[in-house]
Structure 1
Amino acid sequence: MRIRSALTALAIVLAGLVAGAGSGAAASTTATTTSASPYCGITWGSAEKSAGTLSSAPLVDVRTGRHDCYDRVVFEFAGPVDGYSVGYGETWTEGEGLALSPYTAGGALLRVSLRAPAYDDSHVGTVPYRVGEHAANLLRYSTLRDVVFGGSFEGYSTFAVGVRARLPFRAFVLAGPGGHSRIVVDVAHRWQE
């Protein structure tokens, strides 16, 4: 009788463990899948991105834009340009080598190096030191905090883009309008949903 009671109790305990383990595994799988969902399907990451070669087409405009899932900075050139390097870290002025972090806002700094000049054939600058017309509007952006020009030297132009935090970003080239080209940098509003 005792053996039968002990076996019955053991069977009940084992059945409970098996049922608990099954539901725990299902809950664990669901939680892992949900927490790993990328924000807006964004899978860009935050590692440095670079492409292209040096060009002589000058930078003629810098503008920003807000989107549902990311904020955008657009660098427009008067001709074909495809060279850039974008990554997180301190940004230095071209030629002089001064740190730009004291002049930018935000919790993180994107270093944007464009492989094209910000001056024309007469060496006259084609962009202002600070992208002033957009700076006040950046207060309403989810991610962007500041865009500061770090100079242009020997065909390279540098910008420090202040962002709220180290977040996923992408960089790519677009043709147009007309004979112009654009290098675009998008920074996500957050990592995950």
Structure 2
Amino acid sequence: MQTYVALLYSIILGEGRRVVMSDLKAMAEGLGLKNVRTLVATGNLVFEARTGELSKLERRLEKAFEKSFGRHVDIIVRGADDWLKLAAANPFPGESADTADRVAVRVMREPLPADTVEALQAYAAADEKILLVDGDIWLVFSRERPSSRLLAAANHKRLGIGTSRNWNTVRRLAEMVGSRQ
């Protein structure tokens, strides 16, 4: 058995309907996943399953989600070791310590190419930062602007399948999987 982290992209079902975490947990348990836990009501799962291909696990979860909740949602899965590596690679430790909600990583299904940072830089405000680490994009967002052009630019259409989590969530998921190793 291996511990995994699954990140769901946008779990709003429409007209104010959100996925209840107990229902999401029940869906995962229905697939035979073990020791299923959720973190925050934004679609974060930690569970144990037989070691296997991540893409197959993602497809199983996506199919079960669609069957259970009536809509497709992209789901990114990482093994516990990979999640701990991602958390340890945070290139913005100072900003994370000061304002963890402004630091985020867009976890990608497929690694992003090196030129992604240059393409996104055009959307960044002077106080925003972008770095690519192991194919995922790390961002520091501005507190000075009510809406970030950078945040809007770091989307599915431009970057492909992925989902963002702030440093608080990344750290707490690392704590969850680290205690199960």
Q: TM-score, normalised by structure 1?
A: 0.27
Q: 1 or 2, which has the higher helix percentage?
A: 2
Q: 1 or 2, which has the higher strand percentage?
A: 1
Larger radius of gyration: 1
Q: TM-score, normalised by structure 2?
A: 0.29
